[in-house]
Amino acid sequence: MGAFENRGRQVTSRLGKLLHYFASRHPFMGSGWNATLLTGDGPLYDKQALIALIQKLALKRGTFTLASGKTANFYLDCRKVTLDGEGANLVGRGILEAMGDNLPECVGGMAIGADPITAATITLAYQRGLALRGFIVRKEAKAHGMGQQVEGPVEPGQRALIVEDVATTGGSILAAVNRAREFGLIVDRAIAVVDRGEGAVDRLAAENVVLSSLVNLVELGITG
């Protein structure tokens, strides 16, 4: 660990302790107030809390047509989780834990589903003293300016991780991988919040990309 990362962790830890001290002496802040959400300190990932939040906010029952063209008897609108304050923290912590020690130089994915995941991840990484930048993959290149499909403070040759909210057949993730590679980023990993288990892992493996997920359908109580 470099001096910058070590110093960042020390500052984060001290700030977390100060905020906890302040909260314990000011009951008006409420029992649900959590200093770790402000500092990024504390446990990296509470998987059960994320599962409960997805079940509460994102899981819908009925008949739906998916982006892949398939029909399903349930729908997962994970933007209701990734755009929720608690959900963003849980997802960001989960992505960081899934990365482990193999930290890329940047993280991003296809707009708009990946955008809040990217924002949560790089924010928590910064709070932990980790150097991680974000990028956005546009569905279409801009007709003005530089006309780029990859936006953000990233450069060709950097190692990148692709993120996505829900993986079904892997089409959206693969499109983001291809455009990131065309830009010059090195991509061999992707992480989805939820994998529906409908072929995305194998499809991406054929393109030398390892896909993992924070949660699967069985863990959400969805079978058949």
pLDDT, mean of each 10-residue run, the chain (224 residues): 45 44 41 42 79 97 82 92 97 96 96 97 96 94 70 98 96 97 98 96 98 97 80
CATH architecture designation of domain 44-216 = 3-Layer(aba) Sandwich (3.40)
pLDDT in the model for residue 68 = 72
Cβ count within 10 A of residue 221: 9
Strand ranges, E, within the chain:
59-65, 71-76, 106-110, 133-137, 150-151, 159-167, 186-195, 210-216
pLDDT in the model for residue 45 = 85
pLDDT in the model for residue 141 = 66
Q: 161 has which bridge partners?
A: 107, 189
- For 123, which DSSP code? H
pLDDT in the model for residue 29 = 39
Q: Which of 121, 127, 176, 117 is closest to 151 using CA atoms?
A: 176
